[in-house]
Structure formats: C-alpha cells, structure tokens
C-alpha cells in the first residue's frame, strides 16, 4: 500500500501557501520544499494512510500528503509522547 506513494513521487507537489507553511513549521531555509519532502519520504521511518491522507514520519517530522492529488498539505515537527 505504501508503494503507491513511493511509485508516484513524480506527481508530488504543493501550493505556494503550502510551501510557506512547511518552511515555517519546520524552520527550513531550502528553496525546493517538494524535493526536500521527496528525500524525506524515501528515507521515512513509517508511512501510513488514514482516510484520504498519507502521513510520512521521518527524522522527527510528519509530512501530510493528500492520497488522491499527491499534494503536500503540511509538515510539522513530530510531537513527543
């Protein structure tokens, strides 16, 4: 099931506001947020699908991706339990 996300990485994209939100939430200074997210997805600890979204857990951050459009919705630091 996770193969669907991995095999469709070329479809991954985000909006201008999504780029700003991801940079702010993670404190990133990278220009290409989509490339950064692809790298994190390839190196992910865990990828789960809940409803319409993928949740990618990698290096203490969570990336949320719409499973139908492959739009990166947001990313944030993983909350400690």
Whether 81 has a pLDDT exceeding 60, the answer reads: no
**26-53: average pLDDT:** 94
Would you state the pLDDT for residue 3? Answer: 77
Q: What pLDDT score was predicted for residue 26? A: 95
Note the pTM of the prediction, 2 decimals.
0.91
Query: What phi, psi does 51 have (nearest 5°)?
Result: 65, -125
User: Number of folded domains in the chain?
Assistant: 1
Percentage of the chain beyond pLDDT 90 is 85
Query: In the prediction, which pLDDT does 66 show?
Result: 97
pLDDT at 1: 54
CATH number, residue 35: 2.40.10
- Domain range for 56 is 3-77
Instruction: Label residue 58 by pLDDT band (50, 70, 90).
Output: very high
């Amino acid at each position: 099931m996770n193969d669907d996300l991995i095999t469709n990485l070329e479809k991954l994209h985000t909006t201008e506001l999504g780029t700003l939100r991801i940079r702010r939430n993670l404190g990133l200074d990278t220009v290409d947020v989509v490339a950064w997210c692809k790298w994190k997805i390839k190196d992910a600890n865990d990828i789960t699908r809940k409803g319409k979204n993928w949740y990618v857990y990698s290096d203490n951050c969570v990336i949320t991706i719409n499973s139908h459009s492959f739009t990166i919705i947001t990313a944030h630091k993983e909350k400690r339990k």
